Amino acid sequence: MSEAPFGRRLATVTGVDELGVYRVLRVAEQVMPQSGWQAGELQPGQFAMLAAVERWGGGEGERPYLPRAFSIARRTDREAHFLLEDVGPGTQRLCELRAGDQLWLLAPLGRGFIPPRDGRRALLVGGGVGIAPLAILQDTLAAGVGQGHGPASEATVLLGFRDSSRAPGAALLEGAQVATDDGSVGYHGLVTELLAAEIDRDPHAVVYACGPAGMLEGVRALCERTGTPAQLALEAGMACGYGACFGCVVPKRGGGYLRVCVDGPVIDAAELEHVDSHAGAPA
């Protein structure tokens, strides 16, 4: 795990893209020259703590907002991208940001995904707004950036959404198979059903997953039954991102707890007895 960067810094929004109900917030890369956040050091699956500079809590009838944790969805030469959905006061304010607005940013934080080994193929499984870290993972695998873990490879991408208003989020990744709960787009059913079929077809794989807690628990249980290694990117409410507040803990197999912000957010599925209901992305 890389050491957490020293302090938050100002960042400038360069644009916002719409993908159905989701927003892709693009942040200027040039605002981070002192951060040590180099492209080769960033691990897919790491996250950032974001807070708007203006109207972020306080004032009559408002409460102070803690920064919000978001997976880094993509990294270009000049921008960092974050996938947002308006699900509460903090995300609502961030979704209101437009080009030229500023935010506070603390990144990169946490542990990321480990690339496939032993010739295993990568199965990327995402649900809802939790698809975000799979986008940068797909980019990294396609570019062959794996610290010696193997050549460039194409990953199989399986994404699940509640309905057609959220399915446009699949455009964040390339070549995705899509499932929707209501059957309005793609396969009618759960994304874990697509995963089961892929494992049956070729079990020599490693699963990378991020999404709602129910989906992650389904992935964990399936991979345990089939003996398939899996890495789960958990999401939990965080106050600090440094591991100091113990507000994001999840129980560890065999006893004890893991802090999602520093022991994760990417955690080997074998370390968990189950995925807690609070440890997933919004459904």
Whether the predicted pLDDT of 90 surpasses 70: yes
Of 126, 11, 140, 19, nearest in space to 76 by CA: 140
Phi, psi of 23 (to 5 degrees): -125, 135
Confidence of residue 78 (pLDDT cuts 50, 70, 90): confident
> Long-range contacts for 242-249 (Cβ within 8 Å, ≥24 apart)?
242/4, 242/109
Judge whether 15 and 76 are in contact, CB under 8 Å.
no
Q: Which domains does the chain have, with CATH numbers?
A: 9-109 (2.40.30.10), 121-271 (3.40.50.80)
Whether the predicted pLDDT of 44 surpasses 50: yes
Distance (Å, rounded) from C-alpha 209 to C-alpha 2?
A: 21
- Tally of CA atoms within 13 A in the half-sphere of 122 that contains its CB: 28
Per mean pLDDT, which range of 2-6, 15-19, 54-58, 89-93 is the poorest?
A: 2-6
Confidence of residue 62 (pLDDT cuts 50, 70, 90): low
Longest Cα–Cα distance of the chain, Å, equals: 58
Confidence of residue 154 (pLDDT cuts 50, 70, 90): confident
Whether the predicted pLDDT of 225 surpasses 90: yes
pLDDT recorded at residue 21: 97
Over residues 119-137, the mean pLDDT reads: 97
Q: Identity (one letter) of the amino acid at 103?
A: L
Per mean pLDDT, which range of 30-39, 81-90, 132-141 is the poorest?
A: 30-39
Confidence of residue 280 (pLDDT cuts 50, 70, 90): confident
pLDDT recorded at residue 238: 82
Phi, psi of 167 (to 5 degrees): -55, -30
Of 256, 254, 208, 253, nearest in space to 234 by CA: 208
Q: What is the pTM of this model?
A: 0.92
Distance (Å, rounded) from C-alpha 258 to C-alpha 204?
A: 28
Q: What dihedral do alpha carbons 266, 13, 127, 141 form, nearest 10°?
A: -60
State how far Cα 13 lies from the chain centre.
20
What does each C-alpha distance from 179 to 154, 236, 252 come to in angstroms?
20, 24, 30
- Please tell me whether residue 125 adopts helix, strand or coil conformation: strand
pLDDT recorded at residue 223: 98
Over residues 23-52, the mean pLDDT reads: 75
